[in-house]
Structure 1
Amino acid sequence: MYYKISKLVFAAAIFPFLISCEEKETQEPQQKPNIIYIMADDHTTQAFGIYGSRLASLNPTPNLDKLAGEGIIFDNCFVNNSICVPSRAAILTGQNSQANGVIDLEGELTADQQYLPKELKKLGYQTAIVGKWHLHAEPSEFDYYKVLPGQGNYFDPDFLVRGEKPWPENVVQTTGHSSDVITDITLDWLKNERDPNKPFFLMHHFKAPHDDFENAPRYDEYLADTFIPEPESMYDNANNGSVGTRGKNDSLTRIIGSSVSSRNLVRNQAMNLYMDSTVYKQYRNPAEISPNEYVKWEMSSDEKKHTSMVYQEYLKRYLRCVKGVDDNVKRLLDYLEEQGLLENTIIIYTGDQGFMLGEHDYIDKRWMYEEAMRMPFFVRYPEKIKAGTRTDAIINNTDFAPTLIEMAGGSAPEYMQGHSFKAILETGKEPEDWQKSTYYRYWMHMAHKHGNPAHFGIRTKQYKLIFFYGRYWVDTDDPNAKWNKESWGNDFSRHTPAAWELYDLSKDPNEMNNVYSDPAYKGVVADLKQQLIELRENLNETDKNYPHIQKVIDEHWNDK
């Protein structure tokens, strides 16, 4: 009798619990994760603690380093074209430049090509973008947008919004530094605009630290009395480069690659920092450079002292902008934690490309050299990603969209050329069949007085092979035809020599020794060229539509 009563009592006690569990399962289905994609402009891996560069000892990004340590860090994330607009187009389309049609700064991404927000809306997401857009057409496929016009201003920036007038006539004025204002707008959207019944996808894009660097006044004294570690290659570039980037007997070093020092006569950082100098004149016209100035550049002891002075100011301005980004990311994370949103939100942080901070005496980006090509990239999502994970798997910015779509519960559409690395995020392991290389292409030959020759190449974990084809993009194979991109802003309309460069990154991570002509690497060169041919064909990145470029490729493909 006692046994029967006990069973009844137990059943009565457990029955409500079973019902409540059933109701909970019915009423509270698994919620899709929110996604916040944070991107800073020109925030390069050298300007983090987590990537172990010479600047890491300055602790420039304590909040971002903490965020990265709570998730997975990618050491081999690369841009496919190191310039703002093409990079952003690749991120939103999952496609390379020729597939999405955005090869330069003039390219625009029309509504029908804004694939990432389109696909995520199909999966039930509310979508928003705040900050830098820079893709010219209206970001109409986002449910909400408040974006900078073009590059936007550092202080008191205007923003374009959806409104009664046609794009881009609906303008909202703001007050303050852009990094602060962009974060204010994002927080306001999270508090007042988002639908709490839907998962959200938010792109939070800083303008900073794009040059010319302007920090919020509260950072004026940051690093004021600190010596910034300098790259050795700024003073001695050793065997980096080729005739394609230096000219015969280094005769083109005065015009190729905008510089920290006064090496580049057309555009160097001293021009920006010391405009009142009698020695320097802003943006010299290459046509005014006399033939006797095209000589091998050698840095004197006085020039080294001056270059160091310029570099110190240049880097402090840059790092003060980075500091503003880092602090504002903390503001965003603090809000998410306060509102209980942090744990169910996938948080991605990256830059739109890398940036040269004096390495090889270069500033800006555009190069396939490591500092410009490598992107910072890390992801936090405790539900699926183990804290403290790190990987050297190769990914590029066309892989972002497929991955986010799959993390949101969908499948990447076939028109995307990138590949989802969701499995790497969740396991920390690289699948055996994962891509072993990445492709790069820079089109804007000698544009904007930065003096970067057009080039393309392949990067594996150990090697980097670059071909500088040194030609303008024109619509005809007539070598005398006028190039069709006057808006690129050059008055130095000339071709540069074609040349190959090969770097063994396992022995030479700083790319100081071009070993292309070394007989010991003959087999490596042949293998990489074959891989490059296959990559270009698979990605539809050949030059079949540009016969004048293809002619140069054919003539120099087998150069020794």
Structure 2
Amino acid sequence: MRYSSKQFKRQLARACTCLSLLTIVAACGNQQPSATNTTSPVAQSKPTQYNILYIMSDDHTASAIGAYQSRLARLNPTPNIDQLASEGTLFENVFATNSICTPSRASVLTGQYPQTNGVLDLNGTIPTEKQHLARLMGEAGYETAMIGKWHLREEPGAFDYYKVLPEQGLYFDPVLRDKNQGKWPHNEVTIKGHSSDVVTDISINWLKNRKTDKPFFLMHHFKAPHDMFEYAPRYEDFLKGVHIPEPSSLYAQTRFGSKATRGENDSMLHELGTSISKRNPRRNMGIHMEIDANLSDDEYTHQAYQEYLRRYLRTVKGVDDNFGRLIDHLKQTGQYDNTIIIYTSDQGMMLGEHDYIDKRWMYDESMRMPFIVRHPGKSHAPKKADVIANNTDFAPFMLELAGSKAPEFMQGMSFAPVLDNQPLQNWRKGTYYRYWMHRAHHDVPAHFGIRTKQYKLIFFYAVNNDLNFQQTDKVYYGMDWSRKDGVIPAKTPTPVAWELYDMLNDPDEMVNLYNDPQYKDIIKELKAELKHQRESLNETDAKYPHIQQVIAKHWDD
């Protein structure tokens, strides 16, 4: 078609106008989408900063997530979390530095180990000025919120918004402290319902009602599946009548442990570590589950385990369903492909392995943390990663994803290059672990150690850091199931001992190899690395000379 001179000019003008509009649209597509924008995600496909949704449950061990392919996977306990894993990266070797709630959360928030951030046990606190992750995310341009379980005592004041459970929190009709309802700690509100549903409702409402155009950084923390496993009534029939696979070490642990965990000649088996079976007559899951004490030992153990796991997995089901609700909300509002989603837990959980329940131990079921990441901008990220990481690394990792850099006072390191299939430079040989609360609550001896990809070396040093600690202290939350007065009887001192496990050839940690002469050189290398990390990480017990004396005396045992 031929155009006259005027027609040609008009067509040229239209073309230039269209080109200008396309340029504007392209430029807008590279801007961070508005928090309230509910248009198609196509227009938001390349934000300069992604939202970050960090979801953390409590005591949700990796073995109770289908994607980790444990004995429980066939029960399909977590289809929504499994779907996230299928779209993202599943990290196989992420560990807590101390497998109890408060220290773990402190390490996530500070990027520091306990002796540096000061949180050694359940009495620790993190004041506003030390809530580094929240502050630095705000400085990086994010609107920040903390919703759900907090467990760090002081106000989460570094967040733009918070609505958190006091202390451990309630499963039903929870009380929460709301930043918009007055001065901490008197800003309490009560909300009817199960805590997993309530916390999710709060997060969704916060996402819906944000007024800024900043990207969001939301820490959404479930209380579940922490004991006492109070699940919502709608899950009463979940796994009813289903046989739950049992760990091979539930009934027999002949070469597992040491005199530190079993006593000389197994003399302390009835005292150390809360059990499934009758082994610990003062505190075992059969008592809590009201199993008939007249049953044979094996039948008692079997019934206690089955009921324990049903209740635990019913609370897990509530977490997974509410996780799915959060994902659905992101998809419905066009934010799913603008949001980095992380799912983890504050530590693992013993589910009958070695006849133990609870956490605290340095054994893998306790110290391993599930960690799954879906980054919409990393379509070629690996499906699995085996890097040895720990919870001090979470803050540096998320800061790098936010386009920021971790400050030098953070001891953790970012493993974000893994998502780009890049090698990590100057990475640690193994991860350091420390449990301080000698024989408190679940009668777990104090210990520290190192976990590499192949080996685990543990030193049980058998003393409390607090010389005034009373061996007849009150039971945590009054949950001594065999005494009405809540007082623990006087406790026998435990021996000092080492344990060594080959995690490649013995992943269930069934055989302690420490006294096997074939491993003499390996033990020497592991002790050298353990000493190096303790010195470099400010974990040398400078304030506790009585612990140093034990270490010096028994280091070469």
TM (norm. structure 1) is: 0.90
Matches for 1:330-349 after TM superposition, within 5 Å: 330-349=324-343
CA distance in 2, matches of 1:28, 1:179: 35
Structure 1 residue 14: Cα displacement: 4.0
Structure 1 residue 431: Cα displacement: 2.3
CA distance in 2, matches of 1:49, 1:361: 22
- Determine whether 1:379 maps to 2:373: yes
Unaligned segments of structure 2, at least 5 residues: 33-48, 477-487
The equivalent of 2:282 in structure 1 is 266
Amino acid at match of 1:71: G
Matches for 1:383-532 after TM superposition, within 5 Å: 383-386=377-380, 389-425=383-419, 427-448=420-441, 450-475=442-467, 486=473, 490-532=488-530
Unaligned segments of structure 1, at least 5 residues: 280-300, 476-480
The equivalent of 1:78 in structure 2 is 95
The equivalent of 1:286 in structure 2 is none
Amino acid at match of 2:256: N
- Determine whether 1:358 maps to 2:352: yes
Listed one character per residue, the Cα deviations across residues 174-206 of structure 1 (whole Å, up to 9, x for unaligned) are 1111111111111111112x2341111111110
**CA gap 1:258/1:440 in 2 versus in 1, 3 angstroms:** same
The equivalent of 1:23 in structure 2 is 24
Of 509-518 and 429-438, deviating more is 429-438
The equivalent of 1:145 in structure 2 is 162
CA distance in 1, matches of 2:508, 2:100: 21
Aligned with 1:513: secondary structure?
coil
CA distance in 2, matches of 1:411, 1:328: 32
**CA gap 1:555/1:438 in 2 versus in 1, 3 angstroms:** same
CA distance in 1, matches of 2:245, 2:469: 44
CA distance in 2, matches of 1:530, 1:14: 71
CA distance in 2, matches of 1:159, 1:343: 31
Amino acid at match of 2:316: V
Structure 1 residue 163: Cα displacement: 4.7
The equivalent of 2:38 in structure 1 is none
Structure 1 residue 18: Cα displacement: 3.4
Amino acid at match of 2:98: N
Aligned with 1:234: secondary structure?
coil
The equivalent of 2:36 in structure 1 is none
Aligned with 1:267: secondary structure?
coil
The equivalent of 1:294 in structure 2 is none
CA distance in 1, matches of 2:111, 2:4: 65
Aligned with 2:337: secondary structure?
coil
- Determine whether 1:99 maps to 2:125: no
Equivalent in 222, 226, 245 of residue 206 of structure 1: 222
**CA gap 1:517/1:19 in 2 versus in 1, 3 angstroms:** same
Structure 1 residue 485: Cα displacement: 10
Amino acid at match of 1:338: Q
**CA gap 1:500/1:437 in 2 versus in 1, 3 angstroms:** same
Listed one character per residue, the Cα deviations across residues 322-376 of structure 1 (whole Å, up to 9, x for unaligned) are 0000001111100110000100001100010000000000000000000001000
CA distance in 1, matches of 2:469, 2:235: 47
The equivalent of 1:298 in structure 2 is none
Matches for 1:115-130 after TM superposition, within 5 Å: 115-130=132-147
Structure 1 residue 494: Cα displacement: 4.5
Equivalent in 43, 47, 69 of residue 64 of structure 2: 47
Structure 1 residue 54: Cα displacement: 0.6
Amino acid at match of 2:157: S
Listed one character per residue, the Cα deviations across residues 12-57 of structure 1 (whole Å, up to 9, x for unaligned) are 4542243224434555544211111001100001101111111011
Aligned with 2:168: secondary structure?
coil
Question: Is the 2:148–2:163 Cα contact (8 Å) retained in structure 1?
Answer: yes
Amino acid at match of 2:374: R
CA distance in 1, matches of 2:277, 2:475: 24
Amino acid at match of 2:71: R
Aligned with 2:387: secondary structure?
strand
CA distance in 2, matches of 1:9, 1:240: 85
CA distance in 1, matches of 2:262, 2:553: 20
Q: How many residues align?
A: 529
CA distance in 1, matches of 2:268, 2:238: 37
Of 3-12 and 502-511, deviating more is 3-12
CA distance in 2, matches of 1:430, 1:378: 19
CA distance in 2, matches of 1:388, 1:557: 40
Question: Is the 1:228–1:315 Cα contact (8 Å) retained in structure 2?
Answer: yes
Matches for 1:82-231 after TM superposition, within 5 Å: 82-163=99-180, 165-192=182-209, 194-231=210-247
- Determine whether 1:242 maps to 2:258: yes
**CA gap 1:189/1:484 in 2 versus in 1, 3 angstroms:** farther
The equivalent of 2:482 in structure 1 is none
Structure 1 residue 484: Cα displacement: 9.8
Structure 1 residue 73: Cα displacement: 0.5
Question: Is the 1:131–1:206 Cα contact (8 Å) retained in structure 2?
Answer: yes
- Determine whether 1:37 maps to 2:31: no
Question: Is the 2:172–2:194 Cα contact (8 Å) retained in structure 1?
Answer: yes
Amino acid at match of 1:16: T
Give identity over the alignment, percent: 54
Question: Is the 1:147–1:161 Cα contact (8 Å) retained in structure 2?
Answer: yes
